[in-house]
C-alpha cells in the first residue's frame, strides 16, 4: 500500500489533500479548525526556507551570469514584462468592475477606519536597503535580502578569482537549501489539508453570500488574466503550447491558492519552472524577484475592482479621470508596496486615497480578504512562471525539449536527491 501511495503523482497528492480539507471543513464546520496547526507548521517550515533560499539563489544566479551584458538585458526584459502584465491586469479589473453592479443592496455598516502607514517613494527605496543584512535575513525582509544578495554577487564578479572561495561556498549553500526544500515539499499535501479544513471550517460557505458578486468579479478577472494574458503571451510571444504550461503550473498554483503566500510557494514554483525547461540561473533570478515585484493579483485587478465596488457601495460616481488614476496607481502600487505585511490592503488604500474614496470600505473587504487572497496569489505566481518561460526563451535560458516533455513537476525532485 505504501508503494502505491508513493507512486501517486505528487500534484495528485496535493489535490487530494485540498479536496479532503474542503470536505472536512464542510462536514464538521467549527471543529475542523482544530486541524489548522497542520497548516501552520507547514507554513512555518516554508518560512524557514525563504530567507536563506532567496539569498543563495539570487547570489548564485547573478554570479553565474558573471559580468555578461545579458544580465542587464534580462533584468530590463523581466521588469518590462512585470509592468506590461500589471497594466493589463488593471485594465481587466477596470472593465469587469464597471460592467457589474457588485454592491446591489449591500450597505457598509462599519464605521471603523482602517489606518495604515503607506510609505512614500523614497521611503520605499530606503526600506529596500539593508542597514543590517543579518537582521534582514533573520526577520525575513525579502526586498532587503534581494538587494543585499545582488550587491554581494556584483562584488564577487568584480573581485574575480580572489572571491572564488566565497562563490563556491554560497553555491554549496544553495545546494543544501535546495535539498532541504525537497524535504519540506514532501509535506505539502498535509499542509494543504490542514489549511483548507481550517479555512472552510472558519468561514463556511454562507459567509461568502453577501459579497459573492465582488468575490466572483475578482475570480473572473483572475481567470481571464491567467488564461488570456498569460496564455496569450505563452502562445504568441514564446510560441509554445499554453496547455503544457498550465499543466506544469498546477502544483505551484495549488500551493499558492492554499497558502496565499508567493514567498511560501517559491520552492514549488522553482521546481515547476525547472520542469518547464527554464535555466537554473534565470529561474533563480526571476522567481524571487517576481515574488516581490510581480503582483498582478494584489496590485492589478484587485485594487481596481475593490475601488469600484466601494464607490458603488457608497453611491459615489467615478469619471474617466478616476478610472485612469485607478489603472496607474493599481499598476505602480504593486511595486511600490511589495514586501509590506498586508500589502494587498495597503495597495488598495493607495488607490482609494488617490481617487478620494473612503478608507472605511477597506474594513468591510478585509473580512473576506483571505478568500480573495487565494486567487490573487495563484495569479501572481503563475505570472512569475510565465515570465520565466517567455523571457527565458527569448534569451536562450530555456530548454524547449524539456518544456514539451511529459515529465511532471516535482516528481523528479522528490524521488531524486
Helices and strands (DSSP H and E) totals, the chain: 22, 0
Domain boundaries, the chain: 2-415
Query: Crossing angle, helix 369-394 and helix 188-203, to 10 degrees?
Result: 140
Give CA–CA dist 232/139, Å, rounded. Answer: 38
Q: Cell 524521488 sits at which residue?
A: 415
pLDDT in tens, 65-120: 655 556 678 878 888 898 899 889 989 999 998 888 776 654 444 444 444 444 55
Alpha-carbon distances of 40 from 47, 137, 255, 372, rounded to whole Å: 10, 21, 14, 19
Q: What is the DSSP string of 278-312?
A: B-HHHHHHHHHHHHHH--HIIIIIHHHHHHHHHHH
Decide if 390 contacts 237 (C-beta within 8 A): yes
Residue 351 sits at φ, ψ, to 5 deg, of -65, -45
Q: Give me the CATH topology for the region 2-415.
A: 1.10.3860
Residues 331-343: what's their mean pLDDT? 49
Please give the pLDDT value at position 110: 40
For residue 242, the model assigns a pLDDT of: 95
Burial class (CB in 10 A: 0-12, 13-18, 19+), 179: exposed
Q: Which of 329, 347, 349, 106 is nearest to 215 (CA)?
A: 106
pLDDT over 90 (residue 310) = no
Q: Residue 260 corresponds to which cell in the numbers above?
A: 496565499
Please give the angle made by the CA atoms of 90, 91 and 94, to the nearest 5 degrees: 85
Question: Is the pTM here over 0.85, yes or no?
Answer: no
Top pLDDT among 258 and 185 is at 258
The pLDDT value given to residue 339: 37
Residue 403 CB-density burial (10 A; 0-12 exposed, 13-18 middle, 19+ buried): buried
Amino acid at each position: 500500500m505504501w508503494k502505491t501511495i508513493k507512486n501517486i503523482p505528487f500534484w495528485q497528492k496535493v489535490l487530494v489533500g485540498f479536496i479532503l480539507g474542503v470536505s472536512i471543513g464542510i462536514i464538521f464546520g467549527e471543529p475542523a479548525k482544530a486541524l489548522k496547526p497542520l497548516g501552520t507548521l507547514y507554513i512555518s517550515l516554508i518560512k524557514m526556507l525563504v530567507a536563506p533560499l532567496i539569498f543563495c539563489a539570487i547570489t548564485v544566479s547573478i554570479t553565474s551570469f558573471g559580468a555578461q551584458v545579458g544580465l542587464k538585458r534580462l533584468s530590463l526584459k523581466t521588469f518590462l514584462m512585470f509592468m506590461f502584465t500589471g497594466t493589463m491586469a488593471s485594465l481587466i479589473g477596470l472593465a469587469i468592475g464597471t460592467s457589474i453592479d457588485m454592491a446591489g443592496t449591500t450597505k457598509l455598516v462599519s464605521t471603523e477606519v482602517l489606518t495604515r502607514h503607506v510609505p512614500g517613494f523614497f521611503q520605499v527605496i530606503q526600506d529596500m536597503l539593508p542597514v543590517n543584512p543579518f537582521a534582514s535575513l533573520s526577520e525575513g525582509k525579502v526586498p532587503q535580502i534581494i538587494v543585499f544578495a545582488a550587491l554581494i554577487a556584483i562584488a564577487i564578479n568584480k573581485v574575480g578569482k580572489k572571491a572564488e572561495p566565497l562563490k563556491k561556498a554560497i553555491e554549496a549553500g544553495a545546494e543544501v537549501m535546495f535539498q532541504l526544500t525537497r524535504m519540506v515539499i514532501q509535506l505539502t499535501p498535509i499542509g494543504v489539508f490542514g489549511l483548507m479544513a481550517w479555512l472552510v471550517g472558519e468561514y463556511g460557505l454562507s459567509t461568502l453570500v453577501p459579497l459573492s458578486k465582488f468575490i466572483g468579479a475578482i475570480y473572473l478577472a483572475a481567470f481571464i488574466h491567467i488564461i488570456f494574458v498569460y496564455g496569450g503571451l505563452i502562445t504568441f510571444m514564446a510560441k509554445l503550447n499554453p496547455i503544457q504550461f498550465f499543466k506544469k503550473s498546477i502544483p505551484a498554483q495549488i500551493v499558492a491558492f492554499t497558502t496565499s503566500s508567493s514567498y511560501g510557494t517559491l520552492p514549488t514554483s522553482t521546481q515547476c519552472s525547472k520542469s518547464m525547461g527554464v535555466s537554473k540561473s534565470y529561474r533563480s533570478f526571476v522567481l524571487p524577484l517576481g515574488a516581490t515585484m510581480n503582483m498582478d493579483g494584489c496590485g492589478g485587478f484587485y485594487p481596481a475592482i475593490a475601488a469600484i465596488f466601494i464607490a458603488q457601495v457608497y453611491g459615489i460616481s467615478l469619471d474617466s479621470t478616476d478610472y485612469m488614476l485607478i489603472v496607474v496607481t493599481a499598476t505602480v502600487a504593486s511595486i511600490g508596496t511589495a514586501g509590506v505585511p498586508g500589502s494587498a490592503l495597503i495597495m488598495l488604500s493607495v488607490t482609494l486615497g488617490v481617487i478620494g474614496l473612503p478608507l472605511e470600505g477597506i474594513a468591510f473587504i478585509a473580512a473576506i480578504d483571505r478568500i480573495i487572497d487565494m486567487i490573487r496569489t495563484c495569479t501572481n505566481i503563475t505570472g512569475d512562471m510565465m515570465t520565466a518561460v517567455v523571457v527565458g526563451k527569448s534569451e536562450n535560458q530555456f530548454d524547449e525539449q524539456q518544456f514539451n516533455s511529459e515529465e511532471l513537476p516535482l516528481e523528479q525532485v522528490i524521488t531524486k536527491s
